[in-house]
Amino acid sequence: MSKKKLVILTGAGISAESGLKTFRDSDGLWEGYAIEDVATPAAWRKNPQLVLEFYNYRRKNVLDAEPNAAHFGLAELETDFDVTIITQNIDDLHERAGSTHILHLHGEIFKMRSEKDESLIYEIQGAIQMGDVAEDGAQLRPHIVWFGEAVPKIEEAVPIVQSADLFVVVGTSLVVYPAAGLVNYARRPIPKFIVDKKIPYTSEVYNLTTIEKPATEGVSELKELLKSYL
């Protein structure tokens, strides 16, 4: 028998217990910065130095963080299911936990790109500085989707969700579109689960089970429940 297709949408909440701050749990401030000052095209035009510093700092945070039991738990599900993770996170904790099919909707902190040509993408572990340029001579910027920018990977994500036999959401407030809208593409009859410290609001979702727990504990409970779908 072929494995069932399990599609998992994750957000900042799954990495919270690894010490990475979520976006909306701290008064609209993100590591002390207002989102519009660091994560928009306007911010980049106005003060690229500040934007680089902010992401250089976040890159260092992610390097220092480790995957937690929730990341590992989702990776282990590959033994029994055909798992795809669609993450809004820019960290690499799913990769480091061993998951093998991961789609990063909002970019990746360990990548940078030309500010002119989005197809010129490079790996980066250290810091990006003003004056660092891509092959086309344009300034390098983080390979991150900022507010107000298109989310090209959504085109890939929609058919993945549509083909799911089981759909899971872990640690996202489901307020940022188009990512939040993915929930509506899961076929109506399939079992759906949300794991979150505080279950986010969703409009009618059929066949939904909610697990209101921190991700590490919640994923462990989820794994027990999923056994009945093997």
Site for ligand APR, rule CB under 6 A: 11-13, 16-17, 22-25, 88, 106, 171-173, 175-176, 196-198, 200, 214-215
Q: Is 98 left (phi over 0), alpha (psi -120 to 50) or beta?
A: left
Judged by beta carbon, residue 12 or residue 226, the one nearer ligand APR is 12
At 199, is the secondary structure helix, strand, or coil? coil
List the catalytic residues.
106
Judged by beta carbon, residue 142 or residue 191, the one nearer ligand APR is 142
To which residue do tokens 């900042």 refer? Answer: 12
148 in Cβ contact with 102 (< 8 Å)? no
At 169, is the secondary structure helix, strand, or coil? strand
Other CB atoms within 10 A of residue 67 CB: 23
Q: How far is the CB of 56 from ligand APR (least distance, A)?
A: 18
Judged by beta carbon, residue 67 or residue 200, the one nearer ligand APR is 200
109 in Cβ contact with 142 (< 8 Å)? yes
Cα(175)–Cα(33) distance, integer angstroms: 19
Judged by beta carbon, residue 118 or residue 136, the one nearer ligand APR is 118
Q: How far is the CB of 104 from ligand APR (least distance, A)?
A: 10
| Residue of closest CB approach to ligand APR | 13
157 in Cβ contact with 101 (< 8 Å)? no
